[in-house]
């Protein structure tokens, strides 16, 4: 990826990266919404569950996690994207797993008729935003 803002086509390539090539890269989508019936108080439990799912995914060999709020709607409340990403990021650091995975944040809110998609940096300086620790392998 040459820029932090991804097109729908770029995101689809990342989603299906497990099916192409030698299987070195494996991606998984993690939902960042929680049931509206749980109300605002459900956010903490939802964040804890998201972190546990992210940790389990990394331990299974997933090296690209896509945090997505596409299921947001009347029945599902979306987590603030930065909060979801930061929670997963810090949880994986505490578990010693952060350098094993790249994080991509998919924001499903409409922006000028198209979805706004953002990639979150793995562990790099602001000027370069990799989606995985071995970014050069994607080129």
Give the SS3 label for residue 51.
helix
- pLDDT tens per residue, range 37-86: 999 999 999 999 999 999 999 999 999 999 999 999 999 999 999 999 99
pTM (whole model) above 0.85: no
What one-character DSSP code corresponds to residue 132?
S
The answer to whether the beta carbons of residues 79 and 58 sit under 8 Å apart is no
- Average pLDDT along the chain: 80
What one-character DSSP code corresponds to residue 19?
G
Give the E-state strand segments of 1-139 in sequence order: 27-31, 33-35, 64-68, 76-78, 102-111, 114-119
Measured distance CA(54)–CA(91) in Å, rounded: 9
Q: What is the pLDDT of residue 22?
A: 74
Measured distance CA(39)–CA(42) in Å, rounded: 6
- Report which of 128, 110, 20 is spatially closest to residue 119, judged by C-alpha positions: 128
- pLDDT tens per residue, range 8-44: 888 888 888 878 767 789 999 999 999 999 999 999 9
- Report which of 113, 93, 94 is spatially closest to residue 103, judged by C-alpha positions: 93
């Amino acid at each position: 990826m040459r820029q932090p803002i991804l097109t729908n086509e770029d995101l689809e390539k990342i989603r299906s990266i497990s099916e192409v090539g030698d299987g070195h890269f494996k991606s998984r989508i993690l939902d960042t919404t929680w049931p509206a019936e749980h109300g605002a108080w459900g956010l903490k439990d939802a964040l804890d569950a998201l972190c546990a799912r992210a940790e389990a995914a990394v331990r299974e060999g997933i090296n690209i996690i896509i945090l997505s709020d596409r299921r947001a709607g009347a029945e599902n409340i979306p987590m603030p994207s930065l909060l979801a990403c930061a929670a997963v990021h810090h949880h994986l650091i505490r578990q010693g797993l952060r350098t094993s995975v790249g994080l991509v944040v998919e924001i499903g809110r409409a922006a000028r008729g198209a979805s706004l998609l953002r990639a979150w940096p793995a562990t790099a300086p602001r000027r370069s935003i990799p989606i995985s620790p071995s970014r050069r392998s994607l080129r």
